[in-house]
Amino acid sequence: MSVKYYDSEFEDSEFGEVYVRYNVRSRNIIFRIIDGQLWITSSPHLSDSVIKNAIGDKREKLRELFQRTRTSVPEHIIDETFKITTPAFCFSVVCNREKEFRLHRVFQPQTDPLYVGMPDCAVVQLECPYQTDFDNEQRQRWLRKVVEAALIKEVKPYLQYMLNQMSAKSGLAYEQFMVGRGKTRWGWCSRLSGARKKLSQTERVIEIGPYTQEEYFPHKICLNSFTALLPLHLAQYICLHELTHTRHADHSDDFHSTLDMLTRTILGVSAKECEWEMRKCRTDINCFAK
């Protein structure tokens, strides 16, 4: 289960267990499929009967949503054939005579010309006992947690290096950085509490077009660990997207025009092209496994 906390639950004859979370700011009933189960976000003022009626009204669309989530990405069993191979992170599984599970990690220099100069690739190998039951569902859930935890730990230098690159090229600064594990979002940006910080002339970063940064609010940027597994230009696009939020908090027309200007200037493609490619990507191990 990827989401552990919920306020209410009930059984649906077709969709099984339905989990409900309350949000006082929610004005609508929001349906999501998470790990093959139906999750609902609604106002705490709505009763279960109202939510059940909403499921009945949306049942046909929910069936289509379940079908898309089940068929869009094939499920990979984590066993000796499981591999993730990217310039930022590699993961594999081997079986040996040891009685315990062990993780081994080495770093390999970047050899692809696109990645030369970037942090070394983290190569992680999980050693499993010979008698490991890879068909056991509980064991598979544990193995997925191991892969995700290793990914979060190892890709932080890679992502921070890339974010610093995009920050220097775009002229958009940030204060804090972290790597997260969101199930749907590739990144997020939040304003830090405190007064504005004024930049001195020597601290001011590169200006692009009419945009300057004589004064700005400090922000914290968090990138999803799966961002490191994306093709380079898409990972850079995610960085630019979040950096643009340091200037425009919402997805307004000004936000999109600034982002498009930055992607065209720095990446040589439009923001729309990157957004279209991102629609094919998911924050899911199965999307990157071989």
Per-residue pLDDT tens digits for 221-248: 999 999 999 999 999 999 999 999 988 8
Number of structural domains (the chain) is: 3
Residues 134 and 195 grouped into a single domain: no
Q: What is the mean pLDDT of residues 85-100?
A: 90
- Domain around 64: 8-71
In a domain, 260, yes or no: yes
Single residue among 18, 47, 71 that ends a domain in this structure: 71
In a domain, 78, yes or no: no
Q: What is the mean pLDDT of residues 9-37?
A: 83
Say which residue, 69 or 254, is predicted with more confidence.
254
Single residue among 71, 103, 120 that ends a domain in this structure: 71
In a domain, 1, yes or no: no
CA angle centred on 269, ends 268 and 271, rounded to 5°: 135
In a domain, 39, yes or no: yes
Share of the chain above pLDDT 90, in %: 45
Distance of alpha carbon 167 from alpha carbon 171, whole angstroms: 6
Q: In Å, what is the CA distance from 222 to each residue of 105, 172, 174, 239?
A: 24, 15, 11, 10
Residues 53 and 146 grouped into a single domain: no
Single residue among 37, 71, 105 that ends a domain in this structure: 71
DSSP labels, 245-272: TTT-SS--HHHHHHHHHHHHHHTSS-HH
Q: What is the mean pLDDT of residues 100-118?
A: 90
Distance of alpha carbon 133 from alpha carbon 95, whole angstroms: 11
* Largest distance between two CA atoms of the chain: 65
In a domain, 259, yes or no: yes
Residues 169 and 281 grouped into a single domain: yes
Confidence of residue 212 (pLDDT cuts 50, 70, 90): very low
Report the chain's C-alpha Rg in angstroms: 22
pLDDT at 210: 38
Looking up tokens 């068929």 gives: 71
Say which residue, 231 or 35, is predicted with more confidence.
231
In a domain, 3, yes or no: no
pLDDT at 73: 54
Residues 141 and 162 grouped into a single domain: no
- Buried/exposed code over 16-53 (b: 16+ C-beta within 10 A; e: otherwise): eebbbbeeeebeebebbeeeebbbbbbeeebeeeebee
Residues 93 and 63 grouped into a single domain: no
pLDDT at 238: 96
For the cut 50, the answer to whether the pLDDT of residue 206 exceeds it is no
Residues 258 and 163 grouped into a single domain: yes
pLDDT at 290: 80
Average pLDDT value for the chain:
84
In a domain, 77, yes or no: no
pLDDT at 3: 39
pLDDT in tens, 166-191: 999 998 888 899 998 877 789 988 88
Residues 249 and 275 grouped into a single domain: yes
Distance of alpha carbon 78 from alpha carbon 147, whole angstroms: 9
Helix (H, G, I), strand (E, B) or coil at 137: helix
Q: What is the mean pLDDT of residues 258-267?
A: 95
pLDDT at 135: 87
Q: Is the pTM of this model over 0.85?
A: no
pLDDT at 70: 56
Share of the chain above pLDDT 70, in %: 87
pLDDT at 2: 37
Say which residue, 153 or 37, is predicted with more confidence.
153
Residues 167 and 133 grouped into a single domain: no
pLDDT at 66: 78
pLDDT in tens, 133-169: 988 889 999 999 999 999 999 999 999 999 999 999 9
In a domain, 257, yes or no: yes
Residues 282 and 175 grouped into a single domain: yes
Residues 169 and 143 grouped into a single domain: no
Residues 169 and 136 grouped into a single domain: no
Residues 120 and 96 grouped into a single domain: yes
Distance of alpha carbon 166 from alpha carbon 147, whole angstroms: 27
